[in-house]
């Protein structure tokens, strides 16, 4: 952050100040007029008195000139939320030295973001809702999507690059909110149905919270089903000896064909087709991480243990909170893909180095998935002489505004708007987590800021950690009777375990009898039509 202006600092050092026709002060900067030369106050009054401004919960100003617009806005909307973004401290103090902004600073819901890094601006929107019901996934019209933006060129010209970056980040998140709204419309009923059917799993399954910060310095390898996985599969057993492997459900089949069971499998999609990726498979040495809204058959998967993470759907979140399980389950967030949940899981465990393969955010070689993945097998299963599997691949490639971008070697690679959205999530997330390094083992995916290319050979030369990994599972309480204790957070006495499980089950049954209650419907009125 810049230092305070010197005592000799004057607004005239930034602006050419003059008197408007009505006697009020006005100004220009670098030949751009900040306010009207005739009546700056009336100009500001007209600008803020728009119906669109009144309809939104938040108003955002990109810069603010001398402050006329802020003053008039404060008069009209004293109860609404105001976010003012200004990267230059001198401009902020110059405005305060020129006009009386007392009325603005008396607002109850006011944030001045002065010299704030662009990637931190987005969190300020959510701070306006800190005292209200928080949705795990932004399903409602909130935050960046519930704001009116004053974007006046003269107010931003002094820091154009900064404001362009902020606006790009906000537009990305607006797009994410649009996707979330569409997701609710498409899957709301399914989420509700699955969650209600799976409620008993809250008593049966332990949460992932016991794994938090337990992994030490173990490297993690996140395995997606992208085409780049092909080059690593012949070495996957060697990598398992040296890393904690976390795979998404679509890549499980490929790993099992090479005789390797991952340490963790993550499946959080509520659709039947997500379950189909693991249907008929078994991984008795793997932990499956899932959440309450997934397809019920997921909980019949044969594995070492099923672990629950925090539900990204409000219905699941509600029951978790009422049962006091929030801390035990831990939140893996929602970045639009299960890969983002996998990264968050590794970070939650305490990983300092996270490697990825098959997370290409693109279609290297014009392929959507690794050969032999469950997704590719589905294409072949549903294909026939009239609809060849290549047709389904082409539909996947070009169904979301396919575009050419660059891989890590500067070569063109095909991607699309969905993949770009996932990559943007990683870019923003990694920028806020400087304490961990993230790598890809393939240079042929989309060049994503924050993810560096690492050599496979370097990882293969690392120490074998097989025995240490088992100690990690034991310390986290994921073996034997420890499972029961992890699920309800209770003492080691067997009798207490039983009684607490009974208490938890009883509490759940009581909640089910009164659901949906008044409090729930008031908090989430948009879910009523899906119940």
- Paired tokens of 528: 């009523």
CB atoms within 10 A of CB 269: 22
CB atoms within 10 A of CB 83: 21
Q: State the pLDDT at residue 480.
A: 46
Q: State the pLDDT at residue 369.
A: 61
415 beta partners: 403
Query: Cis omega (within 30 of 0) on the bond before 531?
Result: no
Q: What are the angstrom distances between the C-alpha of 495 and each of 54, 328, 484, 490, 509?
A: 59, 21, 12, 11, 21
**Crossing angle for the helix pair 389-398 and 374-382, to the nearest 10 degrees:** 120
Give DSSP secondary structure letters for 123-150: HHHHHTTTTSPPPSS--SS-GGGGEEEE
Q: Write out the E strands in 243-374.
A: 244-248, 264-266, 282-290, 302-308, 353-357
Instruction: Quote the CA–CA distance of 161 and 150 in Å, as a whole number.
Output: 17
Q: Which residues, given as ranges, of the chain have pLDDT below 50?
A: 1-2, 130-141, 375, 378-399, 480-498
Q: State the pLDDT at residue 183.
A: 63
Residue 293 contacts residue 313 (beta carbons within 8 Å) = yes
Q: State the pLDDT at residue 182.
A: 64
pTM of the model: 0.72
Q: State the pLDDT at residue 371.
A: 62
Phi, psi (5° rounding) for residue 282? Answer: -150, 145
Q: State the pLDDT at residue 286.
A: 96
Burial label, 50 (beta-carbon count in 10 A; 0-12, 13-18, 19+): exposed
Residue 370 contacts residue 445 (beta carbons within 8 Å) = no
- Paired tokens of 508: 């759940």
Q: State the pLDDT at residue 499.
A: 54
Domains, the chain, ranges and CATH?
Answer: 11-178 (3.40.50), 199-359+453-521 (no CATH)
């Amino acid at each position: 952050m810049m230092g305070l202006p010197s005592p000799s600092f004057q607004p005239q050092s930034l602006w050419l100040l003059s008197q408007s026709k009505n006697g009020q002060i006005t100004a220009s900067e670098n030949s751009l007029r900040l306010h009207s030369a005739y009546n700056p106050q009336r100009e500001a009054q007209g600008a803020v008195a728009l119906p669109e401004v009144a309809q939104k919960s938040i108003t955002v100003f990109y810069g603010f000139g001398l402050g006329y617009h802020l003053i008039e806005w404060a008069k009209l909307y004293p109860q609404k939320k105001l976010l003012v973004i200004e990267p230059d401290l001198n401009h902020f103090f110059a405005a305060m030295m020129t006009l009386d902004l007392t009325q603005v600073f008396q607002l109850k819901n006011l944030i001045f973001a002065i010299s704030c890094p662009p990637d931190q601006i987005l969190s300020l929107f959510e701070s306006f809702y800190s005292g209200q019901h928080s949705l795990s996934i932004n399903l409602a019209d909130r935050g960046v999507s519930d704001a009116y933006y004053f974007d006046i060129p003269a107010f931003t010209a002094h820091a154009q690059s900064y404001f362009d970056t902020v606006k790009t980040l906000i537009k990305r998140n607006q797009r994410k909110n649009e996707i979330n709204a569409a997701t609710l419309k498409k899957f709301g009923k399914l989420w509700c149905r699955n969650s209600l059917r799976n409620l008993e799993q809250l008593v049966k399954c332990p949460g992932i919270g016991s794994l938090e910060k337990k992994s030490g310095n173990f490297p993690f390898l996140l395995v997606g089903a992208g085409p780049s996985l092909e080059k690593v599969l012949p070495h996957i057993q060697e990598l398992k000896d040296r890393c904690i492997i976390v795979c998404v459900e679509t890549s499980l089949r490929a790993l099992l064909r090479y005789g390797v069971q991952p340490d963790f499998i993550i499946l959080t999609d509520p659709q039947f087709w997500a379950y189909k990726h693991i249907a008929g498979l078994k991984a008795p040495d793997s932990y499956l991480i899932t959440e309450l809204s997934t397809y019920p058959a997921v909980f019949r998967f044969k594995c070492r243990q099923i672990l629950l993470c925090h539900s990204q759907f409000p219905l699941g979140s509600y029951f978790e909170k009422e049962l006091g399980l929030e801390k035990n389950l831990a939140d893996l967030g929602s970045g639009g893909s299960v890969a983002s949940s996998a990264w968050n899981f590794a970070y939650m465990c305490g990983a300092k180095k996270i490697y990825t393969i098959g997370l290409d955010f693109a279609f290297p070689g014009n392929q959507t998935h690794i050969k032999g993945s469950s997704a590719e097998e589905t294409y072949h299963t549903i294909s026939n002489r009239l609809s060849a599997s290549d047709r389904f691949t082409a539909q996947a490639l070009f169904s979301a505004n396919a575009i050419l971008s660059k891989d890590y070697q500067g070569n063109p690679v095909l991607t699309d708007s969905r993949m770009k959205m996932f990559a943007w999530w990683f870019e923003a997330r990694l920028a806020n987590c400087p304490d961990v390094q993230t790598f890809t083992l393939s240079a042929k995916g989309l060049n994503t800021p924050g993810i560096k290319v690492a050599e496979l050979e370097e990882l293969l030369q690392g120490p074998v950690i097989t025995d240490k990994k088992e100690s990690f599972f034991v310390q986290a309480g994921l073996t034997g009777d420890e499972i029961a204790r992890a699920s309800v957070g209770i003492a080691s006495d067997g009798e207490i375990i039983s009684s607490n499980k009974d208490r938890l089950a009883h509490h759940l049954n009581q909640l089910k009898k009164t659901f949906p209650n008044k409090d729930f419907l008031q908090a989430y009125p948009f879910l009523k039509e899906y119940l």
